[in-house]
Structure 1
Amino acid sequence: MSPEEFINYLSKNYHVNFDNVDLLKEALTQRNYLNEHPKEKGRDYQRLEFLGDAIMQASVTEYLFKRYPDWDEGQLTEMRITMVQTKSFAHFSQVIHLNEAIRLGKGEEMNGARHRPSLLEDIWEAFIGALFLDQGQQAVVKLLNQTVFAAIDENFFDQFIDFKSRLQEQLQAKGTVDITYNIEDEERNEDNSQVFKVSVALDGRILAYGFGSSIKDAEKAAAQQALVDLSE
């Protein structure tokens, strides 16, 4: 997908316009591409990445601050860290097909760089920086509302949260306690897949149960449910 095609895609699917093609090209260009095309003018994405990182931090911070008025600093910080990370940005780069528009050197293309999470994170930040310069903060927020912020309502970020560590920190805030996870049951679905039922207990008293296709997933679900119950 060319930068021009990506601009059309962005306008059609997200109703976000982009005027400066050269600015977008810079955000999509890896250094190896420029090395292989010495006659082409322009920079690689790194300066825009620097800007986009700051824009994302500020945008996510403001969104969380307004969305969760009852959260303390620690909760807001943890959620921001969860949202602003490599796995998250790499995912959303693919959601909007940004990865298909990256301008790569031949060697990097052959090595699968187009699907490399660290590069997709960098390109996402560079693209946000370019969008900010081209259309302003309002356009950035408009896109984030349709992608990153919308994913909160779909519980997308739960997969990145360490609920077991969060539960341990909360339960041990006032001293050492005994937290245990136990397999309560194991069943098979009609499709022959396994489902584990795990309990989490505090000093022998069961707090919650969790279910998952693996013991690890069931423990995480139990910790998450315990946190929900404790907050009520």
Structure 2
Amino acid sequence: MPKQYKDKQKQSKKLEQFREFQQRISVHFKNEKLLYQAFTHSSYVNEHRKKPYEDNERLEFLGDAVLELTISQFLFANPAMSEGDLTKLRAAIVCEPSLVSLAHELSFGDLVF
């Protein structure tokens, strides 16, 4: 089988996985390029330098800030919690093990380039 055909087959399968992912989480991305970029690891970009791929590092920076802000706003709505308790709980929610668990649950590994 020619390499070109295999690449198109892989690309078609990956696009279908992204469509299914959007359906599963009930979110449709207006700019799907950002969705693909969010799942593109820097090593993939380095291995495919001839193609115009962008990795997820800048989006990761922004996403970390948005996640922390969103969790902070949610927790802040509970007036019974002290600042120290809010900080500890937020740290527990946004810590790597919690996010890894969620990523596994949502099958993010299947989407990474």
**Under TM normalisation by the shorter chain, which class is it?**
0.7 to 0.9
Residue in structure 2 matched with residue 82 of structure 1 by the alignment: 92
Instruction: Give the distance between the partners of 2:84 and 2:67, measured in 1 at CA.
Output: 19
Normalising by structure 1, what TM-score? Answer: 0.41
Q: CA deviation at 1:8?
A: 2.1
71, 74, 99: which one aligns with 1:60: 71
Query: Would you say 1:44 and 2:46 are equivalent positions?
Result: no
Instruction: Give the distance between the partners of 1:7 and 1:34, measured in 2 at CA.
Output: 19
Residue in structure 1 matched with residue 83 of structure 2 by the alignment: 73
Instruction: Give the distance between the partners of 1:102 and 1:24, measured in 2 at CA.
Output: 11
Q: CA deviation at 1:85?
A: 0.7
Alpha-carbon RMSD across the aligned residues, in angstroms, is 1.5
Q: Counterparts of 1:120-135 in structure 2 under 5 Å?
A: none
Change over 3 Å in CA distance of 1:11–1:44 after alignment to 2: closer
Q: CA deviation at 1:25?
A: 1.6
Normalising by structure 2, what TM-score? Answer: 0.80
Residue in structure 2 matched with residue 98 of structure 1 by the alignment: 108
Which structure is higher in RCO with an 8 Å CA cutoff and minimum separation 6?
2
Change over 3 Å in CA distance of 1:11–1:32 after alignment to 2: closer
Q: Which amino acid aligns with 2:53?
A: G
Q: Counterparts of 1:128-207 in structure 2 under 5 Å?
A: none
Residue in structure 2 matched with residue 27 of structure 1 by the alignment: 38
Residue ranges of structure 1 left out of the alignment (5+ in a row): 104-232
Indicate the structure (1 or 2) with the bigger Cα radius of gyration. 1
In the comparison of the two structures, how many residue pairs are matched?
101
Q: CA deviation at 1:43?
A: 1.5
Instruction: Give the distance between the partners of 1:10 and 1:19, measured in 2 at CA.
Output: 14
> Sequence identity of aligned pairs in percent?
32
Q: Is the 8 A contact 1:7 1:18 kept in 2?
A: no
Change over 3 Å in CA distance of 1:79–1:20 after alignment to 2: same
Instruction: Give the distance between the partners of 1:11 and 1:23, measured in 2 at CA.
Output: 13
Query: Would you say 1:12 and 2:23 are equivalent positions?
Result: yes
Q: Is the 8 A contact 1:10 1:17 kept in 2?
A: no
Of Structure 1 and Structure 2, the greater helix share is in 2
Q: CA deviation at 1:61?
A: 0.2
